[in-house]
């Protein structure tokens, strides 16, 4: 038996069914003593029948004793302090952490995998994402009016994709509100976003315990490698043609392809191409080489949301001494004798889109030979300073 306490991290958008899942976990704990750490006790609303008759809420510590031997704890301070205090003060068999409905599971998981007090006491067992399956479809069909966070700074589609991409288990909740074909489609889409994720169809978040606990699905060394778009870039090799194409699913028509080129984009034309991505494109992610700029621009698109961010300089733009130092530390760096590390690499995942037409649109956004010879005067809305983000499209 491991000396560390296993942790199950549950994510999901507001209203997806996390609260109902937590109540199922607590009500059917069997012989497990479970601690549930949540952001807001009022939001979780633990079933009153589970609260021990001889126990009261410890207001100072935010802990509620439950009649089945479990405990619930409100996150009143930072997560690391809370989980360490919980392990020191209480005995339990497993910890369930419910991340906020407006956050991704990655940062929570890293707390338990880095060198920290929490990592010495706990080990992540699985990352679980709860999806409102109907909402999942609506978010990628143009009907995405909701925003992420109180400030309304990011759309719901971004959150849904990020939570699915970083999951070991995806609960397709409210399955009774979807057709069989829609559920099949959701499973295929999840398989494209995160190829190793298990999917569980559920009504009212009723998921068997053996699907959630003692799974050993989380690999701390590869948490950043989970998303399907990263797999596609890594798996397609270093060819720069237009022949990388993949069919993750056959029932609902989910397909993906990789677009690579060593010719830069015109900033204005590629911005327009990205603004007009087909509705069937669910996810596109990658790095853009933009003419007239020495910074790498990262594209992050999820449904109707299209965002770009300048993340740092191309190594090829640095002084030669710095280039040599960087390359000596990165022998696997994809380097071209003429263009250095400058390149475009994009992965596109979706359904019912015309790949040939989309490739043509991207090709048309590349600079022409005449423009390349000119090498300046390229105007467009894409970011040109590190850390700057530009929203090209939002619902």
* pLDDT tens by residue, 134-155: 888 777 654 444 444 443 456 7
| Whole-number pLDDT of residue 289 | 97
- Cβ neighbour number for residue 115 with a 10 Å cutoff: 6
Question: Can 5-226 and 229-393 be said to share one CATH topology?
Answer: no
- Cβ neighbour number for residue 217 with a 10 Å cutoff: 16
Given a cut of 60, whether residue 130 has pLDDT beyond it is yes
Token pair 């003419």 is found at 291
| Joined tokens for residue 341 | 């590390």
Enter the DSSP assignment of 290: B
Residues 347, 229: Cα–Cα separation, whole Å: 6
| Whole-number pLDDT of residue 22 | 84
Given a cut of 50, whether residue 263 has pLDDT beyond it is yes
Express each pLDDT in 292-302 by its tens digit.
999 999 999 98
Q: Determine which of 99-103, 245-249, 342-346 has the lowest per-residue pLDDT on average.
A: 245-249
Given a cut of 60, whether residue 51 has pLDDT beyond it is no
Residues 79, 97: Cα–Cα separation, whole Å: 9
pLDDT above 90 coverage of the chain, percent: 40
Q: What is the tally of helices (H) and strands (E) in the chain?
A: 13, 17
Token pair 């296993």 is found at 6
- Cβ neighbour number for residue 114 with a 10 Å cutoff: 11
Residues 65, 115: Cα–Cα separation, whole Å: 30
Query: Does residue 293 sit in helix, strand or coil?
Result: coil
Residues 150, 41: Cα–Cα separation, whole Å: 19
| Whole-number pLDDT of residue 361 | 97
| Whole-number pLDDT of residue 138 | 74
| Whole-number pLDDT of residue 80 | 78
Token pair 């590390």 is found at 341
Average pLDDT of the segment spanning 74-103: 75
Q: Enumerate the domain spans of the chain.
A: 5-226, 229-393
| Whole-number pLDDT of residue 115 | 78
| Whole-number pLDDT of residue 151 | 39
Most confident listed range (79-83, 190-194, 387-391): 387-391
Express each pLDDT in 69-85 by its tens digit.
555 555 545 777 778 88
Express each pLDDT in 157-179 by its tens digit.
888 888 888 899 999 999 999 99
Residue range 229-393, CATH number: 3.30.1220.10
| Whole-number pLDDT of residue 313 | 95
Given a cut of 50, whether residue 58 has pLDDT beyond it is no
Average pLDDT of the segment spanning 176-202: 90
> At residue 98, what are phi and psi to the nearest 5 degrees?
-100, 110
| Whole-number pLDDT of residue 96 | 87
| Whole-number pLDDT of residue 104 | 73
Average pLDDT of the segment spanning 308-316: 95
pLDDT bin (cut points 50, 70, 90) of residue 267 is very high
Given a cut of 90, whether residue 6 has pLDDT beyond it is yes
Given a cut of 70, whether residue 17 has pLDDT beyond it is yes
* Inter-residue contact 263 to 290 (CB < 8 Å): no
Q: Determine which of 107-121, 185-199, 277-291 has the lowest per-residue pLDDT on average.
A: 107-121
* CATH, domain 5-226, list 3.40.50.300, 3.40.1080.10, 2.40.10.120, 3.40.50.800: 3.40.50.300
Q: At what angle do helices 228-235 and 180-193 cross, to 10 degrees?
A: 50
| Whole-number pLDDT of residue 243 | 46
Residues 125, 354: Cα–Cα separation, whole Å: 40
Residues 40, 208: Cα–Cα separation, whole Å: 25
| Whole-number pLDDT of residue 232 | 75
Q: Determine which of 99-108, 193-202, 330-339 has the lowest per-residue pLDDT on average.
A: 99-108
């Amino acid at each position: 038996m491991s000396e560390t306490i296993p942790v199950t991290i549950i994510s999901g958008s507001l209203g997806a069914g996390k609260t109902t899942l937590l109540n199922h976990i607590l009500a059917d704990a069997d012989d497990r003593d479970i601690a549930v750490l949540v952001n807001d006790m009022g939001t979780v609303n633990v079933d009153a029948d589970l609260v021990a008759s001889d126990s009261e809420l410890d207001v100072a510590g935010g802990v509620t004793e439950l009649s089945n031997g479990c405990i619930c704890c409100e996150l009143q301070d930072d997560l690391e302090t809370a989980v360490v205090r919980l392990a020191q003060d209480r005995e339990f068999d497993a910890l369930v952490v419910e991340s906020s409905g407006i956050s991704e599971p990655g940062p929570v998981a890293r707390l338990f995998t880095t060198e920290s007090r929490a990592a010495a006491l706990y080990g992540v067992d699985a990352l679980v994402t709860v999806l409102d399956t109907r909402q999942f479809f609506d978010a990628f069909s143009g009907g995405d009016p909701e925003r992420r966070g109180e400030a309304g700074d990011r759309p719901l589609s971004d959150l849904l994709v990020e939570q699915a991409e970083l999951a070991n288990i995806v609960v397709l909740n409210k399955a009774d509100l979807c057709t069989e074909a829609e559920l099949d489609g959701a499973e295929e889409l999840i398989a494209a976003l995160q190829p190793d994720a298990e999917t569980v169809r559920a009504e009212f978040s009723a998921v068997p315990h053996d699907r959630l606990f003692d799974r050993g699905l989380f690999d701390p060394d590869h948490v950043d490698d989970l998303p399907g778009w990263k797999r596609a870039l890594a798996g397609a090799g270093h060819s720069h043609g237009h022949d990388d194409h993949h069919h993750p699913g056959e029932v609902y028509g989910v397909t993906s392809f990789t677009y690579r080129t060593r010719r830069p984009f015109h900033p204005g034309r590629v911005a327009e191409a990205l603004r007009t991505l087909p509705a069937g494109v669910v996810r596109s992610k990658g790095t853009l080489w933009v003419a007239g700029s020495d910074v790498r621009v990262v594209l992050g698109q999820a449904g109707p949301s299209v965002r770009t961010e300048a993340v740092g300089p191309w190594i090829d733009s640095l002084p030669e001494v710095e280039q040599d130092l960087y390359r000596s530390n990165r022998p696997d760096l994809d380097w071209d004798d003429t263009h250095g590390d400058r390149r475009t690499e994009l992965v596109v995942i979706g359904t019912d889109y015309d790949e040939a037409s989309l490739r043509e649109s991207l090709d048309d956004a590349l600079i022409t030979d005449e423009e390349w010879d000119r090498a300046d005067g390229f105007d467009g809305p894409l970011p040109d300073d590190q850390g700057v983000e530009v929203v090209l499209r939002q619902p």
